[in-house]
Amino acid sequence: MSRKTLVFLLAAPAACLLAVSPLSPSEEALLKSISADSLKGHVSFLSSDLLEGRDTPSRGLDIAAEYIATRFRALGLEPAGGDGYFQTANFATVIQPMDSFEMTIKLGGKDMAIPKDKANVNTQRAAEVKDAALFKLDLDAVDTLTPEQIEGKAVVWTMPENLFSMADDDRANFMRKAAHARTVLAKLKPALVLTTGFGGGMSGVRLRELADGGSTPPPGVFVRDQDAARMLGDLPAGPAAGSVTARIPAPEETPVKLKNVVALLRGEDLVLKDTYILLTAHYDHIGTRTSGDGDRINNGANDDASGTASVLEIAAAFAKAPQRPKRSIVFMTYFGEEKGLYGSRYYGKHPIFPLQKTIANLNLEQMGRTDDTEGSTEGKLTASGFNYTTLGEVLTASGKLTGITTWFHEKNNDAFFGRSDNQSLADAGVPAVTLAAAWIFPDYHRPGDEWNKLDYANMEKLDKTVALTLWRVANDPAPPKWIESNPKTAKYVKAYQALHAVEQ
Ligand SMILES: [Zn+2]
């Protein structure tokens, strides 16, 4: 993609001249405070062993949140979370006991007992299900279902056997259909939703937002038993001559307060100051390993103390700059990304600034490591969904002035679009991408992701490129757009249109 962009710029002399013009005095002034040492200071604290890998929830995560808020306060940025710099979210941690779990599927004259270790339960309440009739779901026809067909039934659907070897788009498409089915089923009151699949199961502590106003979903059981998966997989869609009896134990829930950390720099243009650009990163990581010799702390220096430090450093540059941008800039760090984009999903559901007025989201991940498994990425910056939005062009033009080239990985850039918090804003229609130095690095999600392995001189240049991009987007009266000619943006273009429909 970087090559294509270059061809585009060469073929357009006017754009080319603009792109190579030197930095304006206000741009020079903005960028000059961004420093490698300052970044190193932030990353080394956030990824220190003391913070124990910043799991969601944990004391280490709360200390990180307090650190970020303290930095915002020191910069004189406006607190924008509702509770000072904190946007506090009420969640529960959920542990699912399995000791009293029982399940038997009757089908084709056979009784199949599902052992505890072959099932994962996801429920908000205990349930006793007695001889509930089986109903096989067609994921393409969920919108035609009626309450009469579904109420009290054991609804079953199967994950394709090749789910993890599918093309990324096909898998994403399947996951979307599955998520839609869950939403529809929550209203149709089945006794139980049974999913079968062939992969490994999820385990450990889950998170659930409390009092989110939605209807309580039916108890769900994911069955990893091969025989059951095959038998149920072979059933045609519709009512089946079989039944399910199950005892589902209640989950153990503990309320917990989680925090996004949010600061505002108000723009100076009378009209554009009421529009917003989000600069974001997740400040959580995956905590510590429960077993193993030696170091068990997953420090998460590159993932994503580097993005968090970059948000702080760029916020400082804007706070200290003699001139303000026209649009307002929101600096925000999220909890719970590693457990499934929880902080950014929460923000998408409870936006502090109107989403209609939020014109872009630059999300930062993995800004420090240049030792990509496929070779060095020193001097390079990339964005997930590079050719999904017009932000890619601004990034490339900014890089020409800061000595950074943009690069595009044929497979990874699109595949990583859904793997970070930009997805939550993109789903709402906001042009949103994740910027990174490299996609895949050796210590990913391991105790070896430590602060002394990051290239801070390079990170300084990347952050200057991000700051310049942010500045230019913030001063451009024309907001960034989804690129409609790219078929992969269809869903986001639709969301964008829905978001802006009310404005007429
Ligand atoms: Zn990350």
Task: Tell how far the Cα of 385 is from the centroid of ligand 1, in angstroms.
Answer: 16
Q: What percent of the chain has pLDDT over 90?
A: 79
Q: Give the pairing type, strands 206-209 and 220-223.
A: unpaired
Task: Tell how far the Cα of 364 is from the centroid of ligand 1, in angstroms.
Answer: 8
Please report the pLDDT score of residue 20 as a whole number: 47
| CA gap 466, 248 in Å, rounded | 50
Please report the pLDDT score of residue 10 as a whole number: 44
Run of H or E including 362: strand 358-364
Residue 21: pLDDT over 70: no
Helix (H, G, I), strand (E, B) or coil at 206: strand
Task: Tell how far the Cα of 337 is from the centroid of ligand 1, in angstroms.
Answer: 7
Residues 320-353: tens digit of each pLDDT: 999 999 999 999 999 999 999 999 999 999 999 9
Q: Which of 331, 347, 334, 340 is nearest to 282 (CA)?
A: 334
Residue 105: pLDDT over 60: yes
Task: Tell how far the Cα of 362 is from the centroid of ligand 1, in angstroms.
Answer: 14
To the question of pTM greater than 0.75 for the whole model, the response is yes
Run of H or E including 90: strand 86-95
Task: Tell how far the Cα of 247 is from the centroid of ligand 1, in angstroms.
Answer: 37
Give the residues across from 376 on adjacent strands: 371
Please report the pLDDT score of residue 8 as a whole number: 42
Task: Tell how far the Cα of 320 is from the centroid of ligand 1, in angstroms.
Answer: 28
Task: Tell how far the Cα of 50 is from the centroid of ligand 1, in angstroms.
Answer: 20
Please report the pLDDT score of residue 503 as a whole number: 61
Task: Tell how far the Cα of 439 is from the centroid of ligand 1, in angstroms.
Answer: 10
Task: Tell how far the Cα of 97 is from the centroid of ligand 1, in angstroms.
Answer: 29
| CA gap 93, 95 in Å, rounded | 7
Comparing 72-76, 148-152, 165-169, the range with the smallest average pLDDT is 165-169
Task: Tell how far the Cα of 365 is from the centroid of ligand 1, in angstroms.
Answer: 5
Q: Across residues 14-24, what is the average pLDDT?
A: 60
CB atoms within 10 A of CB 352: 17
Task: Tell how far the Cα of 446 is from the centroid of ligand 1, in angstroms.
Answer: 12
Residues 175-231: tens digit of each pLDDT: 888 888 988 998 899 999 999 876 655 556 789 999 766 678 899 999 988 888 888
Domains along the chain?
A: 22-92+256-501 (3.40.630.10), 97-250 (3.50.30.30)
Q: Is the preceding omega at residue 55 within 30 degrees of 0, hence cis?
A: no
Please report the pLDDT score of residue 32 as a whole number: 95
Task: Tell how far the Cα of 420 is from the centroid of ligand 1, in angstroms.
Answer: 7
Residues 418-465: tens digit of each pLDDT: 889 999 999 999 999 999 999 999 999 999 999 999 999 999 999 999
Please report the pLDDT score of residue 179 as a whole number: 84
What DSSP letter does each residue of 216-264 carry, written as one string?
PPPPEEEE--HHHHHHHHTSPSEEEEEEEEEEEPPPEEEEEEEEEEEEE
Task: Tell how far the Cα of 283 is from the centroid of ligand 1, in angstroms.
Answer: 8
Residues 390-406: tens digit of each pLDDT: 999 999 999 999 999 99
Q: Which of 391, 403, 471 is nearest to 20 (CA)?
A: 403
| CA gap 448, 182 in Å, rounded | 38
Task: Tell how far the Cα of 149 is from the centroid of ligand 1, in angstroms.
Answer: 42
Residue with tokens 């103390």: 305
Q: What percent of the chain has pLDDT over 70?
A: 93
Please report the pLDDT score of residue 13 as a whole number: 45
Give how far Cα 163 sits from Cα of 166, 170, 172, Å: 5, 9, 10
Task: Tell how far the Cα of 158 is from the centroid of ligand 1, in angstroms.
Answer: 30
Task: Tell how far the Cα of 301 is from the centroid of ligand 1, in angstroms.
Answer: 10
Task: Tell how far the Cα of 29 is from the centroid of ligand 1, in angstroms.
Answer: 30
Q: How confident is the model at residue 162 (pLDDT cuts 50, 70, 90)?
A: confident
Residue 18: pLDDT over 60: no
Please report the pLDDT score of residue 169 as a whole number: 73
Helix (H, G, I), strand (E, B) or coil at 495: helix
Q: Is 179 exposed, middle or buried (0-12, 13-18, 19+ CB in 10 A)?
A: exposed
Task: Tell how far the Cα of 282 is from the centroid of ligand 1, in angstroms.
Answer: 7
Please report the pLDDT score of residue 159 as a whole number: 84
Residues 363-385: tens digit of each pLDDT: 999 999 999 999 999 999 999 99
| CA gap 151, 221 in Å, rounded | 17
| CA gap 47, 486 in Å, rounded | 38
Task: Tell how far the Cα of 120 is from the centroid of ligand 1, in angstroms.
Answer: 26
Q: Is the dihedral of CA 265, 268, 273, 277 positive or negative?
A: negative
Q: How confident is the model at residue 3 (pLDDT cuts 50, 70, 90)?
A: very low
Task: Tell how far the Cα of 19 is from the centroid of ligand 1, in angstroms.
Answer: 31
| CA gap 227, 249 in Å, rounded | 24
Token digits for 476? 């451009």
Please report the pLDDT score of residue 231 as a whole number: 87
Task: Tell how far the Cα of 382 is from the centroid of ligand 1, in angstroms.
Answer: 15
Task: Tell how far the Cα of 203 is from the centroid of ligand 1, in angstroms.
Answer: 20
Please report the pLDDT score of residue 233 as a whole number: 86
Residue 149: pLDDT over 80: yes
What DSSP letter does each residue of 266-321 carry, written as one string?
---STTGGGSEEEEEEE-----B-SS-SS--B---IIIIIHHHHHHHHHHHHHHH-
